[in-house]
A = this chain, B = another copy of it.
């Protein structure tokens, strides 16, 4: 059903035939995915790199779309899409996760089921190939919502997960990114220390904030509406390059980086996580839809392009409503993303216009 006139013709034909038996197959369904937002200038990506991203985004969105097309669950669809991105070194999740200050990978993920409003999240896991799967296991097989660190991995073992070695996630480009970040951080720290003998590495925001936005981005996520009318959202990330002190970003925080509620909307976020937590971005977008009856386009746009910009927070979201409408606002130069719905081909984008 690509457009209104086709839909109208179908309704008339169905009414004329006196049957509604095939109607169930015409429920709207759609999926949106993101692979991170940031200062992705057109000059920065070679045509080959662009193509790699577009190909992988297409593969990911189609993996989820196929589940939906067959009548599968939105929860299954979003995981299929996210797994493709976690398994690709192009994105900051799973293989290709950024490095912490200490040279490790500490990954976060969360998932939410709009039907039951059940949710699962993990933070700081180091040996889980697909953190989104572990978040799903927390949701389904534990009385808890959020598990962290070594405890989360102990839980994973009880669920039959195989732990992978930390070097499974290594990529040379991310390692180089860590070295670059540390050089910049150290330089800033020594400069500050020279000015003030009391200076502590931890107690100034600027030395992280001056870092290029790209050190913070690359999170992946997906939202979907299935034919049964169930919404779901999921997010997976390696967090922020050179993060320290067991920092937890917005990705595993329900209401900040991920939210889903049937009848309202589903959201997955990517960006400067601290702002997304403080402004509980995913929850706020859904609240504007639910309580102010705003469209998903308007609600998501207001939060990303007004509220967050005023606050100084950069990033974007993918959001979907109960009718399968999709919003993908971002206030950065680009956001890797793809959408697909109702028998239409996939739409794959990096910048505002392409």
Contacts and interface: CB of A to CB of B under 8 A. Distances in A.
Interface in A293-341: 311
Most buried by B among A141, A202, A207: A202
A350 interface: no
Interface string A258-289: 01000000000000011001111001100110
Contacts of A124: 148-149
A221 B329 CA distance: 36
A189 to B, nearest CB: 12
A150 interface: yes
Contact of A245 (B119, B144, B244, B288): B144
Interface stretch (A40-48, A70-78, A247-255): A247-255
Interface residues of A, number: 57
Interface stretch (A31-39, A151-159, A227-235): A151-159
Given A278-B118, A292-B291, A202 B142 contact: yes
A146 interface: yes
Nearest to A202: B158
B148 A123 contact: yes
Contacts of A277: 119, 145-146, 254-255
A147 interface: yes
Contacts of A203: 141-142, 158-159
A209 to B, nearest CB: 6
B287 A283 contact: yes
Contact of A146 (B142, B248, B287): B248
A246 B291 contact: no
Leading 5 A-B pairs by shortest Cβ distance: A151-B246, A255-B280, A287-B287, A148-B246, A291-B291
17 contacts: A117-B278, A119-B278, A123-B248, A141-B204, A144-B247, A147-B246, A148-B246, A152-B246, A158-B200, A159-B203, A253-B253, A253-B255, A255-B255, A255-B256, A280-B283, A287-B290, A288-B291
Interface of A: 112, 117-119, 123-124, 141-152, 154-155, 158-159, 200-205, 207-209, 243-249, 253-256, 259, 273-274, 277-280, 283-284, 287-288, 290-292, 311
